[in-house]
Chains A and B, each alone.
Chain A
């Protein structure tokens, strides 16, 4: 197996009153992993994401990125290599800016924003039309629409495209289809899978949909009470079924 891109070593996260919401987590993410993350509410899934992204500081342990400890890097600095899609469609896009403007903004993730013109040319618009077409939800015909006027599904599809516009070393998908209706949700899930596979993205995806967790990705982890209680990949993952998974939820 290749070296891990990200590695959590004995990571503990404590909240105000001394409660550990992550209890000495050890977790390695390898290049090309598409990991689905399961667990009940309060199991620590979001904490894990916030810890990796830098929105929560850790009490002890190390977070390694290519062997280099990033535990003290700010969240904004970590966006140089980590991208994220939120659950709430309102959180991932700037509502008063157009689809194209949002994509332009995302294109500058990881590089300096200067006094150069933003470069919204006809050529760019054509490029964005091709890019958004793959999501299959008419986003390509709404490039000059303010994102506040889009449907939830379109906004999430846009958020996904924005997060992957500059290829991240790690993509965090935080229940990004959960706020959508079943049909839209499935459509976005399939588009997500296509993109992750096609571009060989390394991704972590929280979901409450057991079928999705089994169907997508090459690896699956289950969290419970601040611990990772199951971590399986490839053949072992394929052998899992919903009943087996549910057993890990109650323990």
Chain B
């Protein structure tokens, strides 16, 4: 039972990444590799600041800020430098490996007995693992509600249109470059913010913690889509959160089968691949019809 609670907590915390990646992967319609750099960037920034005695909340906000800078650089390379988005992301991701080492001064820093955002009083009264559920739920709710409001503003609609049809967007006066840069900044800011929170939850920041992040974030998006199918935009954001929790539960089940935590990246990739292939299999074998047939009584 406690394992399940822990998985739900992890799912809620990691959902920040899923939501953040949704902004670029689904709304702007491109894969942004920067996230593998901005995630550890946020983690190392926050942990290093906390280790130097900075208030954990300020450190976590600072992580968001530095993530937006990573997004800004990718955005400038892509829109002004005309570097393909995949390469622009990889460049910033690679560069941030060195930046992270500079920030931390070593390959990893432990928080040991330092205060973190998980040290606040209210969380101390909760049973084990419920602290991440509570904090994760609060944070992801604030982010999601904020995004829902933002996407319904004039600016948010211009942002969506940019990803949907850039030519049309430009023809009605939308500065698509600016929208793209804004999306990358917001997305990577949130990823770094997530990195800061997850590092505090783990109790350490590590230089390698960004590896495979994009697959985990994508998995929550795709699982949510496969499970729920056609949804409105707002519902899709919620589906990402549920997808993130489901992913953690799948992971838990697989680990229970005897795989080790070293296999996590392999399992993540397989889970994502299966989730992405599933819609086509469903179509090819008409699984929907078969399932429907199976659950409707014969007349």
- List chain A positions with a Cβ less than 8 A from chain B: 75-76, 79-80, 83-84, 86, 90-97, 101, 104-106, 108-110, 113-118, 162-163
Are B153 and A76 in touch, CB under 8 angstroms? Answer: no
Are A91 and B154 in touch, CB under 8 angstroms? Answer: no
Q: A101-B157, A113-B158, A115-B153 are in contact. Are A84 and B165 (CB under 8 A)?
A: no
Q: Please, which residues of chain B bring their CB within 8 A of the CB of A75?
A: 170
Partner of B154, one of A76, A86, A115: A115
Are A94 and B174 in touch, CB under 8 angstroms? Answer: no
Are B153 and A117 in touch, CB under 8 angstroms? Answer: yes
Partner of A105, one of B150, B161, B167: B161
- Interface residue range, chain B: 20 to 34
Are A92 and B168 in touch, CB under 8 angstroms? Answer: yes
Q: A93-B165, A95-B165 are in contact. Are A109 and B172 (CB under 8 A)?
A: yes
Report the bound CA distance from A110 to B170 in whole Å: 11
Q: A96-B164, A97-B164 are in contact. Are A162 and B172 (CB under 8 A)?
A: yes
Are B155 and A109 in touch, CB under 8 angstroms? Answer: no
| 12 contacts across the A-B interface (CB closer than 8 A) | A76-B175, A79-B171, A84-B171, A91-B165, A94-B169, A97-B164, A105-B169, A105-B172, A113-B158, A115-B153, A118-B152, A118-B156
What string of 1s and 0s marks CB contacts (under 8 Å) between B207-232 and chain A? 00000000000000000000000000
Report the bound CA distance from A109 to B174 in whole Å: 8
Q: Please, which residues of chain A bring their CB within 8 A of the CB of B175?
A: 76
Q: Please, which residues of chain A bring their CB within 8 A of the CB of B150?
A: 115
Q: Please, which residues of chain B bring their CB within 8 A of the CB of A96?
A: 160, 164
- Is B297 an interface residue, CB under 8 A from the partner? no
CB distance from A217 to the nearest CB of B (A): 22
Known A96-B164, A117-B152, A117-B154; 19 more pairs at CB < 8 Å: A76-B173, A79-B170, A84-B171, A91-B167, A93-B168, A94-B160, A96-B160, A105-B158, A105-B172, A110-B173, A113-B154, A113-B157, A113-B158, A113-B174, A115-B150, A115-B154, A116-B154, A118-B153, A118-B156
Report the bound CA distance from A83 to B173 in whole Å: 9
Question: Which DSSP category, helix, strand, loop or mixed, fits chain A's interface?
Answer: loop
> Which B152-194 residues have C-beta < 8 A from chain A?
152-158, 160-161, 164-165, 167-176
Report the bound CA distance from A116 to B158 in whole Å: 12
Q: Identify the 6 closest CB pairs spanning chains A and B, nearest first.
A: A94-B164, A79-B173, A113-B154, A109-B172, A113-B158, A94-B165
Q: A94-B169, A106-B172 are in contact. Are A114 and B164 (CB under 8 A)?
A: no
For residue B151, which residue of chain A has the nearest CB? Answer: A118
Report the bound CA distance from A105 to B152 in whole Å: 11
Report the bound CA distance from A83 to B161 in whole Å: 17
